[in-house]
């Protein structure tokens, strides 16, 4: 089964047909992205509670980057413009934060 009435499928579906094939693996992939992206808040909260102050550990930015990247790929699979726009800029923002984190010697502010 392929996506119909999508935003990108009519334009790039012939180049990436696997992206628009519905399967349980796409659901697992989407859940993985959502799980990574959501777990960053749990990690941040636990670290802050442990230190009794607001802490944003470096792993927060890695979870943000990879979770948003996987979610963006899944958004392309779902092929709905509002979902794509919701994720399209996030990997770039989080990649920039990772670059700044590396430049700062690995310390999180």
Predicted pLDDT of residue 7: 86
pLDDT, tens digit, for every residue of 48-107?
Answer: 999 999 999 999 999 999 999 999 999 999 999 999 999 999 999 999 999 999 998 655
Domain ranges of the chain: 23-103
Q: Rounded to a whole number, what is the distance in angstroms from the first to the last CA of the chain? A: 47
Predicted pLDDT of residue 1: 44
The DSSP letter of residue 53 is S
For the whole model, what pTM was predicted? 0.85
Residues facing residue 2 across a β-bridge = 21
Residues facing residue 21 across a β-bridge = 2
pLDDT, tens digit, for every residue of 10-58?
Answer: 999 899 999 999 999 999 999 999 999 999 999 999 999 999 999 999 9
Contact in structure between 33 and 73 (CB atoms under 8 Å): yes
Helix residue ranges, H only, the chain = 9-12, 24-51, 58-78, 81-87, 90-103
């Amino acid at each position: 089964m392929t996506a119909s009435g999508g935003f990108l499928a009519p334009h790039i579906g012939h180049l990436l047909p696997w992206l628009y094939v519905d399967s349980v693996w796409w659901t697992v992939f989407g859940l993985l992205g959502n799980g990574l992206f959501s777990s960053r808040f749990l990690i941040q909260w636990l670290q802050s509670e442990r230190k009794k102050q607001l802490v944003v550990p470096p792993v927060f930015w890695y979870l943000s980057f990879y979770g948003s990247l996987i979610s963006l790929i899944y958004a392309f699979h779902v092929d709905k413009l509002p979902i794509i726009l919701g994720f399209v800029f996030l990997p770039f923002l989080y990649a920039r934060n990772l670059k700044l984190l590396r430049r700062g010697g690995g310390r999180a502010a």
